Structure 1
């Protein structure tokens, strides 16, 4: 009776048949070895890139090369990752040219602590030189926990200029959020307490 191949052997054979060897993990090197991704991506508007474990340098370097390929050769314009929704706003502004190159640690200490400094500096450089800059978005729970205020106050600032009548909707959402957090005993509701519509208008 023939010996059946183990699942590990079957998986290895599948990789040999379908895989494409990478010539390097260096994010600065040419991207020709990633051209096989173009057929996989096709006309997709969203591409998800995962990793087997956090804080593994090889995964991070490979991901940066894939991001470069998607931005430079496939025309993608938004980079969304596991990062606080509210905290992404100032980081996105920095990546699009606000402030100085050395300001990253002040803009987002968390991003530097989990080893994303090289990637983010590359993004800033890419946005400075590319005709198709990348926006940055956080798709995780903000550091403020369930507080909506850090996310909604920029919305209130925008509405104050373009549609003041809509501010009452933001006011309602903020009141519900603050009331919920106070009921949970959370300190995340701390901060600016005034109604959004009571904040003085900006002057030019």
Structure 2
């Protein structure tokens, strides 16, 4: 397929958006149901975290999918255990004692994300069927075992007090590596002994094996759903432990190929877990790098087999991934730095014009700056885009294979919470 015919097809199939705000109008989204069909998981990405316009546009699409397409779960790149607490707040219509701001104060989440969660809570007050919020990630963005460990400790105190010989060691070490991100927990590993590093891993594994060994007893007493929840929570701290070591190796220049995919493995398992437990369609919000369906490569180095690849393999056409990207403006560039609050430095970085062979340039060159493009049935050839924005840089990938569609906006900006 030559470039002229590709551009003509794109122009004829590009869905122009009338607004990127949180307005109530859905007229420009009326073709979206035909694109997503009967898919059970719709992923909405972002080429960088902390971008105000991505959050605002997603808010309107999330509303549309809930109100018009019967989606009942809003999943996010957010701790599995912490998500349970947020969902409790969303379903608790009568109490104003807790604020969503208090539940999200461990990370600089944009204001617009909080507003989406508040909208879901208010929607549930009058809707005949509730929408649930769920987390899919390891605890506290990979930074701390404690949010999950507190839930596990409460369970084992009642269900299996003898397991305290494992819990006590895990607690003691976890308190010394208590942070807010994967990067921060990776730096904290340098401050504990090799003996404690190995002991933490060993005791987590022993606790997993013991829980599984006593499964019939726990299921009889607490039910299968409760047991599966506890097992998934327990596995999350094991994945976090490995993920911290993987990031530590990467920062030190000794990263192993594919190692950063362990977190994506857990996130994919979490999405499938929620899909099975709730039997409802899911709106999934995460970084483009997590939702894409092809491996993340930097040259010859395999960084990650992402969540999206695993979900596509498992669900087939029931999984659809829309990347979100922008033409110009600013983005949040992230750099690991142990001297900053969250273990990384965030720089408000001006975007350069889209580069050759990028999906952004193909759309921008043809004045297609604000809208949705489905890649279904798109003609393929040598002019296919091979790059897409990733924070302040680009990654190389077969864009038409990595995503099912792209949502492009003209200008992006970093949220005020980050700038301030």
What residue in structure 1 maps to residue 60 of structure 2? Answer: 65
Distance 1:12 1:101, change over 3 A: farther
- Are the aligned partners of 1:88 and 1:138 in contact in 2 as well (CA < 8 Å)? yes
Q: Is 2:12 aligned against 1:22? A: no
| Most deviating of 178-187 and 119-128 | 178-187
Q: Which of 133, 146, 154 is matched with 1:136 structurally?
A: 133
Give the alignment's TM-score, normalised by structure 1: 0.68
Shift of 1:175: 5.3
Give the alignment's TM-score, normalised by structure 2: 0.36
Aligned length: 173
Alignment of 1:1-204 (within 5 A): 5=3, 13-96=8-91, 97=93, 99-100=95-96, 103-110=99-106, 113-115=109-111, 116-143=113-140, 145-147=144-146, 148-152=148-152, 156=155, 167-168=159-160, 172=163, 176=166, 178-180=168-170, 182=172, 186-188=176-178
Please tell me the root mean square deviation across aligned C-alpha atoms, in Å. 3.4
Shift of 1:178: 4.9
Q: Which has the higher strand share?
A: 2
Distance 1:180 1:150, change over 3 A: closer
Q: SS in structure 1 opposite 2:69?
A: coil
Q: SS in structure 2 opposite 1:24?
A: coil
Distance 1:136 1:104, change over 3 A: same
| Most deviating of 96-105 and 24-33 | 96-105
Cα deviations by residue, 1:108-157 (Å, 9 ceiling, x for unpaired): 32477433222121111111121222111111121263454234357x39
Whole-angstrom distance in 2 between the partners of 1:151 and 1:18: 49
What residue in structure 1 maps to residue 312 of structure 2? Answer: none
